[in-house]
A and B are shown apart, each in its own frame.
Chain A
Amino acid sequence: MALLDIDHLSISFGGLQAVLDFNVEIEKGELYGLIGPNGAGKTTVFNLLTGVYQPDEGIIRLDGVDITGHSTEAINHDGIARTFQNIRLFKALSVIDNVKAGLHERFPYPTIAGILKLPSYRKAEQEMDEEAMKLLEVFGLAPERDTLAANLPYGAQRKLEIARAMATNPKLLLLDEPAAGMNPNETGELMDTIRFIRDEFDMTVLLIEHDMKLVSGICDRLTVLNFGRILAEGETKAVLNDPEVIKAYLGD
C-alpha cells in the first residue's frame, strides 16, 4: 500500500481549473518530485494536501486513512508537514524556539505547569531542548541556536524551515521549492541533507522544484504538471527526456 494515495483530485477557482484529475501514489521512503512551469498548479496541490484548500473532487489517503477535508492543523497531526515557497519562519523567535514550536504537540504539558514551572514543565522542556538540538545538528544549525530566525542567512532559513517541519515527526514531508534562491554550493548541500533525512528518518518526501540539477539528482520518480493537468509521470530520467515535457518547459 502506498503511503500517499491521491485519487482524481480537482479544484477550480471561479472559471479557472487549477488542478484537474490529479493522481499519484507515493511509496514509503520515496523521494518524489512534482515539477512543471510556473502557474501549473504545483503549490495548489500542496495546499490541497495540507487542507489550505478543500478539493472539489477527489480523495487523499495517507497511510490508508482518508484525510480529505481535514483542517490544516489536523492534517499535521495526521502526519504531513510542509515548508513554504516564500519562507514562513517565526522571525522574532530564536532558531531553537522555532524548532521547539514544531515539537509543540509532541511534548504536551498543561498551561498551569508552565506558569508555575512545575516539574512536568522542566522535564518536557528539557526533552524538547534535547530533541530540538538533535534536529539542529542534522541541519548544521546547532551553533546558531540562540540567533533570531530573521537574522539567519537565506540558505539557513530554508534549512530551519525543514527542521521545524521535521520536528512535528511527519510521515510525509512536503518541500515547496527548497532550493529557490540558493547558489549551486548551497543546493548541493541541501541535496545531501534531503537524502540524509530520507535515509536517517526513513522519511517520504514530496518536493516541488525548478532546479533540474536537484530534481534529476535526488528524485526517484516525477510527476509533471502543466495547466493543472498531469503531462507525464514516471522514472525521473525517462520523464525528463520526454519530448512533451521538454516542449512544456522550453516551448516549441
Chain B
Amino acid sequence: MKNSFLQKNKDELLTYGLLLIFWIVMEVMRRGGMLTSHFSSMLVPMTYYAIGAVALNLCVGILGELSIGHAGFMCIGAFSSAIFSLLFKETMPTAPRFFLAFLVGIAFSALFGFLIGIPVLRLKGDYLAIVTLAFGEIIKNILTAIYLGVDSKGVHIALNMTNFKIETDGIKLINGAQGVSGTPRNSSFTIGMIVLFLALFVTTNLIKSRDGRAIMSIRDNRIAAESIGINVTRYKMLAFTISAAIAGAAGVLFSHNVTTMTNISNYFGYNASIMLLVYVVLGGIGNIRGSVIAAMILYLLPEMMRGLNRYRMLIYAIVLILMMLFNWAPAMVDWRKKTFGALFKTVTKSNEKEVA
C-alpha cells in the first residue's frame, strides 16, 4: 500500500523533495549569513517568477494554448491586492490582511482570466497568442493611465491628473504613471515558497484528475475530445482561469515585495511575458517541475553575474543554448534516459512527444 502510494506519486514527490531541499539550503545559508544581501533580495522575486512559470505552463503545456500575456494577469493580481492592502493598512493586523490580499489578488486575476478567456479561447494558435499579447498590453496601459483614490467624499477615478481632485485626507491608491506606492512589505522568502508549493500542488493535482485528462485530451485532439462528450469550452475556460489565478498569486507576492510599483512596463510588459515563456519552453513544455527549475536558474543567473558586467548577457545566451540542448536534443535525451533512468521519467516523456 505504502509502496504503491510512492510509486503513483513518485513524480510529484520528487518535485516537492527537490524544492524542499533547495528551500532548506537557502534558508540555512541565509540565516548563517552566507548570502550577500543582494542575493537574499533576489529570493522572493525568484519564487514569484517560478509561480508565474507554473501558471504559464498550465496554459501553454497542459492546455496547449500559447499565451504571451500572462504578465497581464500578474499585473492584475499585483494591483488589486496592493489596493486592498493600502485600504486596510491601518485597520487590520498584518497576517489576516496579507492572507485576504492573496484572496483578492487571486479572485481578480481569475475573474479577468475568465472574462478575457471568453473571446480569446475561440481563437487558435498564432491568433490566440497575438490577442493574449494585446490583452496583456491593454491591462498594463490602463493601469498606467488611471488615477484612483478614496477620501471622505468617496471614490475618485480619473484618467488625468487635473481631473483627479482628491482631498488631502484621502488615500491615493493608483497615482497614474507613478503607480502604487506604500504597499506594506509583507512578502518573504518563506511565504513565497509556501505559495510556490501551493501552486505546484494545485497544478499537479489538477493535471492528474479527471479535469486534467479532459484538458490534455483537448490539447492532443480537440475533435476526438468532443466526440467522446467532453465539454471543450468548459475545460478550456477552467484551465485558463486557474492559470490566470495562479499568475495573480505571483503578482500579489510581487506588489508586496517591491512596495512601490512605478514604471510597470518593465515588470508586466511584453518582455516579462516573453521571459515567462522562456522559462516554460526551456524547462519543458508541459513539464511543471522543469519550468520551476528553469525559472529559478534563469532568474538568478544574470543577477549573479553582475560582476562580469561585460560578458553577462553572453554567458546568459550560452546557458540558454546549453539548457535547450540538455532538454531537447535527441542524443541528450537518450543519454539522460540511460544515466538517470526512472528519475527523469517525465522529462523524457514530454520530450519524446515533441521529438516525435
Please state if B206 and A115 are interface contacts (CB–CB under 8 Å): yes
> At the interface, is chain B mostly helix, strand, loop or mixed?
helix
**Nearest-Cβ distance from residue A36 to partner chain B, whole angstroms:** 22
Cα–Cα, bound, A180→B97 (Å): 64
Which of A50, A89, A114, A117 lies in contact with B220, CB distance below 8 A? A89
Most chain A beta-carbon neighbours within 10 Å: one of B230, B349, B356: B230
Q: Which residue of A lies closest to B207 (CB)?
A: A114
Q: Which residues of B contact A151 (CB under 8 A)?
A: 352, 356
Q: A116 with B205: in contact, given A73-B231, A150-B353 (CB under 8 Å)?
A: yes
Quick check: is B213 within 8 A (CB to CB) of the other chain?
A: yes
Cα–Cα, bound, A100→B238 (Å): 19
Q: A93 with B224: in contact, given A73-B232, A104-B230 (CB under 8 Å)?
A: no
**Band of interface residues on B:** 20 to 34
Q: Which 9 A-B pairs have the closest CB atoms?
A: A114-B209, A76-B229, A90-B220, A88-B224, A72-B226, A101-B217, A92-B353, A90-B217, A88-B221
Cα–Cα, bound, A97→B356 (Å): 19
Cα–Cα, bound, A81→B217 (Å): 16
Quick check: is B136 within 8 A (CB to CB) of the other chain?
A: no
Contact with A along B207-227 (1 / 0, CB 8 A): 011111110110111011111
Q: Which residue of A lies closest to B205 (CB)?
A: A115
Quick check: is B228 within 8 A (CB to CB) of the other chain?
A: yes
Please state if A114 and B211 are interface contacts (CB–CB under 8 Å): yes
Which of B213, B219, B224, B352 lies in contact with A97, CB distance below 8 A? B213
**Nearest-Cβ distance from residue B336 to partner chain A, whole angstroms:** 17
Quick check: is A26 within 8 A (CB to CB) of the other chain?
A: no
Q: Which residue of B lies closest to A167 (CB)?
A: B228
Please state if B229 and A105 are interface contacts (CB–CB under 8 Å): yes
Quick check: is A196 within 8 A (CB to CB) of the other chain?
A: no
Cα–Cα, bound, A196→B295 (Å): 52
Please state if B209 and A111 are interface contacts (CB–CB under 8 Å): yes
Q: Which residue of A lies closest to B350 (CB)?
A: A92
Q: Which residue of A lies closest to B202 (CB)?
A: A115
Q: A91 with B353: in contact, given A101-B213, A101-B217, A108-B210 (CB under 8 Å)?
A: yes
Contact with B along A144-165 (1 / 0, CB 8 A): 0000101100000000000011
Binding site for B on A (CB under 8 A): 50, 52, 71-73, 76-77, 81-82, 84, 88-93, 97-98, 100-102, 104-105, 107-109, 111, 113-117, 121, 124-125, 128, 148, 150-151, 164-165, 167-168
Cα–Cα, bound, A89→B228 (Å): 11
Quick check: is B251 within 8 A (CB to CB) of the other chain?
A: no
Q: A84 with B226: in contact, given A73-B232, A93-B216, A93-B217 (CB under 8 Å)?
A: no
Cα–Cα, bound, A3→B224 (Å): 24
Please state if B223 and A165 are interface contacts (CB–CB under 8 Å): no
Q: Which residues of B contact A100 (CB under 8 A)?
A: 210, 213
Most chain A beta-carbon neighbours within 10 Å: one of B206, B209, B219: B209
Please state if A114 and B227 are interface contacts (CB–CB under 8 Å): no
Q: Which residue of B lies closest to A98 (CB)?
A: B217
**Nearest-Cβ distance from residue B89 to partner chain A, whole angstroms:** 32
Cα–Cα, bound, A108→B353 (Å): 29
Q: Which residues of A contact B224 (CB under 8 A)?
A: 84, 88-90, 164
